[in-house]
Structure 1
Amino acid sequence: MRTHIELDALCDDAERNQRCFYPTSNALRQATYVRLRNGYLVRPYRNVYARSSYWGNLNPAERSRHIIRTLSRQFPNRVFAGLSAASMLHLEYGWNLHNTGSIFIVSSTGSPKRTYRKLQRISMTNPPVSTVLQYRHNKGLGSKLMQGSLTLESCGTQDPASTGMTQTAIPGVRQHDITDMVRITSPARTLVDCATRYPFVQTLPMFDSAMRNHLVTAQEVLDICDGMRMDCGSVMRLLHYANPLSENGGESFCRAVIIEEGFATPQLQHVFTDTDSSWMKYRVDFIWHTEDGRIIVLEYDGAAKYTDPAMTNGNNVHTVVQAERDREDALRRAGVTAIIRTNYQEAAQRAPLIRKLIDARVPTVGMNARYEHATDVTGREL
């Protein structure tokens, strides 16, 4: 295919700034359509395009952010909400929530009868708004969350050194360094919208990560609920169980499954000292202390734990596995009576994880509906 200099420049600029592109002239539109038919380009959303080779290397959350940044340039006054706002905040959640490809925005009137199928409107009036600024920094890109609905002009102040450049609220970043500005609902409002739309196991990672990254407080979430005319029971439950000590979305998801299946809520991130080598300390993901004196540890293993060089320190799988055995021996010397290992697949399937928890006699706080059923006075299962 012949090279189209202007279109390639548009693609290069979009990829450099982590967004997609849209054609702005008839000539560019024609060139875009030709390359779309030939598979050189993809169209993940209406009037939003990217190189196929580039798009294929992005995960679902990053794809969503690329689309949102592009739409914010096409429609600067739009406020993105729900899952779209969560993706811009880099909250943790299962990427399968993006399977429909939907983009969520604020609407004061709800969804009209005729609308683009991938555009979802969340009805709200005068929601609290934040702005995500993306800017060039040290030959790369940085981002910062700012309170309020900002414009390029409103976030700048005159350079006191009179260099002719305009400073921003971000130290060391000038106005011309800003590449994108995306308006979203505030972190608190975003969490409430997601909590009322998605299941507990999908939203607990959002709450954990928001609190871990100091994006929101429980009181801010409660303030949002106080101003809404809807049942916020799901939000209250999430606030009760949210824990900033959870290190990643996988651990949060696993903990949510444990809670939903009726087991006692584990404590997080306890450190044990090796009794044989006091300088060696081991931190565990989940732990239960039972009334009969047992100590049960659950370790959540990500696949990268055995394959990612950044996590294995360059060691091979055999060395990593041996280190895990040494770790388990040290934990048992420190008084741990049972060690459970699990991963995302087992947590998602539930049954394998539940079987391990039952075998280890992890305490329960209620009836496990999968294996236990109540009966009425006649003995019939309810």
Structure 2
Amino acid sequence: MGKEARERIEARLGEAGSRGSCFAATEAADLIYLRRLIKKERPRSVFEPYPKLFVKADTWQALDRGARALFIIKGIAELHPHWVFFGPSAALIHGMPVSWKDLRKPYVVTSSSISDAEKAQLVHRSSVKDELCLCQGVRVTSPVRTLFDCASRLSFQSALAIADGYARTGGLGTEELCDDIRMRFRGQRGVKRVAAICAHADGRAESGGESIARAVMIQQGFYLPELQTPLPDPIDPAKMFRADFAWESKKGIVLGELDGAKKYTMSGDPLDALRDERIRESRLTAYGHAILRFSYAQLLPRNRTEFVALLEKFGVPRGPKPRFVDGVPVKKTVNYAGWRGMPLLCAFNGLGRHGSNEIEFGYAAARRIAA
């Protein structure tokens, strides 16, 4: 292949990367050249993460697993414009929080035949029962069908993160979301499980990590925290901070903070982000409340005992573990008084986002926290 052709492929790789996609080698000459280049070149300047999809090595190595999955999905959409994405792949395209472990393979709907090389790297379905839409130039299942597909097959933690994201973008309360799911998918397999997961949804969660942390708390019987509690900056009251989690325990107020790496890898200087986070924490400390910091790694199954021990050490109230049906904690409505005679939201009490106990705790406790 001549210099002009090589420059053309380099340009196409760059253009695809700027669109957040792999380059789809639909022409035989491009495919042959790129695969020969990969075979001969050391170190490699190009990767083929999926059959006929290529990306520059430096671009690929700078991406996290979620971004890599997005590159592959958009590339497949160019290779197969008639394919539809569902499940976690569609959730990622819709901007819902998706656990990386659920993005190992793209989820596609197609009635056409699939090559053996592709079949080994896909989760495949031959038909879809609901309306479709176009998002980011990719054909996907509708947001509500995507929620249903994910919640009917993923773990409770993964499904709750997606349900929280759906509730947040749709501005839906728990009861409204559950009623909508039951009405839309009445009689379909898995509707009870999906509704049970949606009964725990809370659109105030601002990240997938926060949702997964809350899922672990629910599974372990801990009292649910108040989410995103607003607190004035004690130095400059015109500014407001928000604590990720807040509980009222026998020992007093406990503020919970999920320490995510993404806080320091967003646009801007990571050192500035780290400095701002440390300033924020020092201001929260001025209130005299205990601050429970934990990382996403502590939420993983291998470290979950450590996370539970941390909650207990800080005195986060805990009740009995809930009953599980099909891997989902069942909510039960009980009357339970808080440590100061004030109702608190328990992980097992079945009070939704608009439950009276939560509203009373939300406003009154927030005032006490900031006092």
TM normalised by structure 1 equals: 0.70
Distance, in Å, in 1 between the alignment partners of 2:106 and 2:293 is 37
2:81 to 76, 80, 86: 76
| The structure with more radius of gyration | 1
Residues 1:327 and 2:284 are matched in the alignment: yes
- Which residue of structure 1 aligns with residue 218 of structure 2? 259
Greater shift, 320-329 or 340-349, is seen at: 320-329
Partner SS state of residue 291, structure 2 = strand
- Which residue of structure 2 aligns with residue 314 of structure 1? 272
Residues 1:366 and 2:309 are matched in the alignment: no
Task: Return the offset for 1:233.
Answer: 3.5
- Which residue of structure 2 aligns with residue 340 of structure 1? 292
- Is the 1:108–1:125 contact (alpha carbons within 8 Å) kept by the matching residues of 2? no
- Which residue of structure 1 aligns with residue 351 of structure 2? none
The alpha-carbon distance between structure 1 residues 295 and 119, as it changes in their structure 2 partners (threshold 3 A), is same
Partner SS state of residue 286, structure 2 = helix
Instruction: Give the CA RMSD over aligned residues.
Output: 3.5
Distance, in Å, in 1 between the alignment partners of 2:219 and 2:213 is 10
Residues 1:295 and 2:253 are matched in the alignment: yes
One-letter identity of the residue aligned with 2:160: L
The alpha-carbon distance between structure 1 residues 106 and 280, as it changes in their structure 2 partners (threshold 3 A), is closer
Task: Return the offset for 1:257.
Answer: 1.3
Distance, in Å, in 2 between the alignment partners of 1:183 and 1:307 is 30
- Which residue of structure 1 aligns with residue 344 of structure 2? none
Task: Return the offset for 1:367.
Answer: 3.7
Task: Return the offset for 1:95.
Answer: 1.6
- Is the 1:104–1:119 contact (alpha carbons within 8 Å) kept by the matching residues of 2? yes
Per-residue CA distance 1:299-328 (angstroms, 9 max, x = gap): 2222455787858883875x8546523421
Partner SS state of residue 226, structure 1 = coil
- Which residue of structure 1 aligns with residue 208 of structure 2? 249
Distance, in Å, in 2 between the alignment partners of 1:2 and 1:110 is 35
One-letter identity of the residue aligned with 2:25: P
- Which residue of structure 1 aligns with residue 164 of structure 2? 208
Distance, in Å, in 1 between the alignment partners of 2:204 and 2:259 is 17
Distance, in Å, in 2 between the alignment partners of 1:110 and 1:223 is 34
- Is the 2:182–2:191 contact (alpha carbons within 8 Å) kept by the matching residues of 1? no
1:103 to 106, 110, 125: 106
1:356 to 294, 297, 310: 310
One-letter identity of the residue aligned with 1:60: R
Task: Return the offset for 1:287.
Answer: 1.8
- Is the 1:312–1:320 contact (alpha carbons within 8 Å) kept by the matching residues of 2? no
Task: Return the offset for 1:67.
Answer: 1.8
Residues 1:117 and 2:120 are matched in the alignment: yes
Partner SS state of residue 130, structure 1 = strand
The alpha-carbon distance between structure 1 residues 308 and 86, as it changes in their structure 2 partners (threshold 3 A), is closer
Superposition map of 1:1-382 within 5 A = 3=3, 4-37=6-39, 38=41, 39-98=44-103, 100=104, 102-107=105-110, 116-122=119-125, 124-133=127-136, 181-214=137-170, 218=177, 219-228=179-188, 230-273=189-232, 279=238, 281-289=240-248, 294-303=252-261, 310=268, 314=272, 321=278, 324-330=281-287, 332=288, 336=289, 338-348=290-300, 349-367=303-321
- Where structure 2 has 5 or more consecutive residues not aligned to the other structure, the ranges are 324-371
Task: Return the offset for 1:268.
Answer: 0.7
Task: Return the offset for 1:296.
Answer: 2.9
Partner SS state of residue 314, structure 1 = helix
- Which residue of structure 2 aligns with residue 372 of structure 1? none
Task: Return the offset for 1:329.
Answer: 2.4
Distance, in Å, in 1 between the alignment partners of 2:2 and 2:293 is 55
TM normalised by structure 2 equals: 0.72
One-letter identity of the residue aligned with 2:222: F
One-letter identity of the residue aligned with 1:328: T
**How many matched pairs?**
312
Partner SS state of residue 272, structure 2 = coil
Distance, in Å, in 2 between the alignment partners of 1:227 and 1:346 is 38
One-letter identity of the residue aligned with 1:77: H
Higher normalized helix content (fraction of residues): 2
The alpha-carbon distance between structure 1 residues 315 and 49, as it changes in their structure 2 partners (threshold 3 A), is closer
Q: Which has the higher contact order (CA 8 A, sep 6+)?
A: 2
Identity of aligned residues (%): 26
Partner SS state of residue 365, structure 1 = coil
One-letter identity of the residue aligned with 1:329: A
Per-residue CA distance 1:55-102 (angstroms, 9 max, x = gap): 22222222222222222222222111111111111211222322x3x1
